[in-house]
Amino acid sequence: MKFGTKAIHGGLKPDESTGAIMTPIYQTSTYIQDGIGNNRGYEYSRTQNPTRHALEKNIASIENGKHGACFGSGLAAIDCIIKMLNPGDEVISTNDLYGGTFRLFTSIFEKYGIKFHFVGMNDTSAVKAEVNARTKLIWVETPTNPMMNLVDIEAMADVAKSAGALLAVDNTFATPYLQNPLDLGADLVMHSVTKYLGGHSDVVMGALVTSDDIIAKEIYRIQNSSGAVTAPMDCFLVLRGIKTLHLRMDCHCSNGERVAKYLASHPKVDKVYWPGFEDHPNHDIALKQMRGFGGMISFSLIGDRLDDAHEVVSKTKVFALAESLGGVESLIGHPATMTHGAIPKEERIKIGISDSLIRLSVGVEDIEDIIDDLKQALA
């Protein structure tokens, strides 16, 4: 089954009771039982809900996985993965990652005795150097947020397998349409469903996908025990959003390429970070494991002045100044003071998040309007 067909039909079937072609919103907390210990597959909506169950199967289908689990946010999904570990375990993570993930690792889980190593994953040898007997998880973002670095998932899978560790990949930026980490050897895939999968900036949600039955059993145990589940209405909205994921991503990719090339030629722009450029670090990795380069772009300004960046982000009219990404509308943000404000400045500078760095989530508006907006904001 091709991707577009899976996005619309994967893991789904019409409602058996009515024939409704769209999955109903089962807005219920509990379910009638036919007798003690005799239910119809559902007992309580924290444990399982038919609308959520349909979405979990659909997301698993488009990620080429067997098991899916949805949570109240992307961070709640990551929280579930780290709860699989024990005090004394160690995690190797990319040093260029979403600020909320960094905050979760360092301010929540470090105090429970889990140690995190943050390394540049462009170089596989740097990851191997951190591996020891206590390494239980390798955490990858690719492309990374916000520097758009590429990590070789197959190479990381080999490292994780040799160490007897799990490999988890945050696939939010690429989406299942452009990249499938499970096919490349990952054990777990995480999505901030809030972003491209939902696609319309009206839901906060996270998801995990795996093909390993043992890992899936542990995910569902933690999901039920911790209770960080998502609501039926939100699941319905994401089911609707995924049906057009392939169409939206084609437009995000096309518009993103036009914007990246425009910015690269602008006299006030210093550097443009977009995986589609041949001189982008690890561009060859993007060609190997991705089917397109996406709609996420970061760029810095000549002179690297904070005030200049603030002026640009405050002048756009099509691009909205806001957190998040992946919606149909174009968004602009300033990582140093917004999405990555939780990362200490000295750490930000080391990985390239300068004061003038601006991140774009290029939407699906008409490309002429998008570029005209950037032109006037940079003028």
The pair of three-digit structure tokens given for residue 343, joined into one six-digit string: 């990362």
344: confidence class by pLDDT, cuts 50, 70, 90: confident
Neighbours of 49 (CB within 10 A): 25
Q: Are 192 and 73 in contact (CB under 8 A)?
A: yes
Q: Which CATH superfamily is domain 245-378 in?
A: Aspartate Aminotransferase, domain 1 (3.90.1150.10)
Q: Indicate if 258 belongs to the active site.
A: no
Which pLDDT score, from 0 to 100, does residue 345 have?
82
The answer to whether 3-242 and 245-378 have equal CATH topology is no
Q: Give the integer Cα–Cα distance in Å for 151 and 137.
A: 16
What count of other Cβ atoms lies within 10 Å of the Cβ of residue 302?
A: 13
Class of domain 3-242: alpha beta
Q: What are the pLDDT digits (tens) for 354-378? A: 999 999 999 999 999 999 999 999 9
Which pLDDT belongs to residue 340? 82
Q: Could you tell me the residue ranges of all domains in the chain?
A: 3-242, 245-378
Q: Which of 15, 31, 42, 46 is catalytic?
A: 46
The tens digit of pLDDT for each residue in 196-241 reads: 999 999 999 999 999 999 999 999 999 999 999 999 999 999 999 9
pLDDT tens figures, 125-144: 999 999 999 999 999 999 99
Tokens of 158: 């080999």
Give the residue ranges of DSSP H helices in 192-325. 213-226, 232-242, 245-264, 283-289, 306-315
The yes-or-no answer on residue 359 being catalytic is no
317 is a catalytic site residue: no
Among the listed residues 6, 83, 195, 359, the single catalytic one is 195
50's CB contacts (< 8 A; 6+ apart) are: 23, 24, 26, 42
The structure's pTM equals 0.96
Note the pLDDT of residue 262. Answer: 98
Given 6, 89, 98, 136, the catalytic residue: 98
Kindly report the number of other CB atoms within 10 A of residue 319's CB atom: 24
The mean pLDDT of the chain is: 96
Say which of 89, 96, 152, 170 is annotated catalytic.
Answer: 170
Active site residue 98: yes
